[in-house]
Structure 1
Amino acid sequence: MKKSVLIIDNDPIYRTISHKIIEKLDLAETIYVEKNGYTAIQFLTNMLENNSSLPQIILLDIEMPVMNGWEFMDEYCKFENTLLSGIEIYIVSSSISQIDKDKANTYSEIKGFISKPLTIETLKSILA
C-alpha cells in the first residue's frame, strides 16, 4: 500500500524535484508540501482537527526560516495524539554536522538522517 508523504523544506527547487520524483515513480498516494516548520505544524493541526488522514512519512529539512527542523520537532513532540505515533520522520539535510546527526538520534520519532541530495534509491527505500 502506498503511503502519503509530507515534504517540509524552504528550498522551492528541492520541493519541486522531490515532489516530481515521488510522483513520477508513483511512490506515494498523496504528497503534501510545506515551506517551513511553522506552516507544517499548522497543516498537521488542521488535519488533526478535521480528522483527516495524516501523512505516514515526513521528510524534514533542518535549516529553514520562521521555524527550523529542530523547532518543528519540539512543537511536534508537544502533540498529545496517538494518531501521530505512526508517522515516520526522516531528516533530509545538506548538513554534514555530527552534532545534527547526534541530535536527530535524541528524538525517537526520527527514523533516519539523510544527506541531500535525496536519491531515487533512498526515496524508494523510505517509501516502499
Structure 2
Amino acid sequence: MRKMVKMAYVIDDDRIHVHLLKKVIEIKAIAEELMVFENGREALNHLKKILRKPKKQQILPEIIFLDLNMPVMNGWEFLQEFTKLKNKLEQKISLYVMSSSIDAQELERAQSLNLIKDYLIKPLELKKFEKIFGNDTAA
C-alpha cells in the first residue's frame, strides 16, 4: 500500500545523493513536497520560522533524512538543537540519519538517541527507501 507524505526534508550537502533521493521520491510519488537544506543550521532556522506561525499554518515534515557530516552545522549539532524544539512540535516527525560512515561508535551513538528512527548507510538502497515509506514492492 502506498503512503504519500505531505512534506519530507533532506538535510544533506552531498548534491549527488540529494539528486538521487529527489528522483526516487518523484518517480515513486511518495512525497507531495520535498525541501532540501545543505546544512543543519538552514533546516533549524526554517523549522523555527514555521513554529512562529499560527498552528493552522504550520506545515512540518513527516520525515527528515539527516546527513551527519556537513559544514556549518553537522547532523549531531542539528540533533542536539532539534531535541530542544521537539516539545514544541504538534506532530511526530520520523527522523532518519544517513551517513556513508560505518563506524560502530557513530552507529551506537545514533541508536542511543530515541529521536532517531533508523541509521541508514549511503547510498541508500531502493528497497530500504521503499520500506520507510511503506511501499515495499518486494512482497
1:83 and 2:90 are equivalent in the alignment: yes
1:22–1:123 Cα contact (<8 Å) kept: no
Deviations 1:17-76 (A, max 9, x none): 111111111011211111010001011112222242101110000000000000000000
Identity of aligned residues (%): 35
The structure 2 residue matched to 1:104, chosen from 88, 107, 110, is 110
1:7 and 2:10 are equivalent in the alignment: yes
The AA in structure 2 aligned to 1:88 is S
Count of residue pairs the alignment pairs up: 127
Structure 1 segment 1-128 matched on structure 2, within 5 A: 1-3=3-5, 4-50=7-53, 51-79=57-85, 80-83=87-90, 86-128=92-134
The alignment's TM-score, normalised by the length of structure 2, stands at 0.86
User: Larger Rg: 1 or 2?
Assistant: 2
Deviations 1:82-103 (A, max 9, x none): 425x001011110110111111
Bigger mean CA offset, 8-17 vs 64-73? 8-17
Q: Which runs of 5+ in 2 are unaligned?
A: 135-139
The alignment's TM-score, normalised by the length of structure 1, stands at 0.93
Q: Give the distance between the partners of 1:65 and 1:37, measured in 2 at CA.
A: 8
Q: Which runs of 5+ in 1 are unaligned?
A: none
The AA in structure 1 aligned to 2:88 is N
Runs of 4 or more consecutive aligned structure 1 residues displaced over 2 Å after TM superposition: none
The root-mean-square deviation of aligned C-alpha atoms, in Å, is: 1.2
1:2–1:29 Cα contact (<8 Å) kept: yes
1:5–1:58 Cα contact (<8 Å) kept: yes
User: What SS is found at the alignment partner of 2:130?
Assistant: helix
